[in-house]
Amino acid sequence: MANVFSSSKKPWDRTERRQSRRMRLVVGLPIRLGRKDGSLVEISRGGARVRHIGLMKTDAEVMMSFMSNGERFVANGRVLSSRVVGLGTGEGGATLFETILRFTHISAESLATIEEMLGTEADASAMA
């Protein structure tokens, strides 16, 4: 029988795997994810975590957009996972999903928007 834990990484290991800083939003920023409205929960240079109504298919390519400080952010991303986070907690009692995206195409302007958001978070935490 093959060892399902052949890797040194165990499924319950919470070691940080991210390669770039991320920003967790206290209040979700309104976004557009494909044809769905949602809210941004977390963002980094490499991807985002968003909440919305309706399941997103794993490996699907979707466009994500939102406004930040008067600038429009747009990026294409691949759905890494999409899971239920609330039964009946969405608008009108709908099921709420959380989707993790990895950006596949992002413009220099949109990347600058992320850097500005991350810089703002760093500035705020330094003042605390």
> Is 14 within a domain?
no
User: Is the per-residue pLDDT at 126 higher than 90?
Assistant: no
Instruction: Tell me what the pLDDT averaged over the chain comes to.
Output: 78
pLDDT at 124: 40
pLDDT at 127: 34
> Is 108 within a domain?
yes
For residue 118, the enclosing domain spans 24-127
> Is 2 within a domain?
no
CA distance 90 to 76: 25
The set of residues, in sequence order, having a beta carbon less than 8 Å from that of 44 and lying 6+ positions away, is: 18, 20, 21, 22, 23, 114, 118
CATH code at position 60: 2.40.10.220
Kindly report, residue by residue over 74-113, the tens digit of the pLDDT: 999 999 999 888 776 667 777 889 999 999 999 999 999 8
Confidence of residue 24 (pLDDT cuts 50, 70, 90): low
Q: Structurally, how many domains does the chain consist of?
A: 1
pLDDT at 118: 81
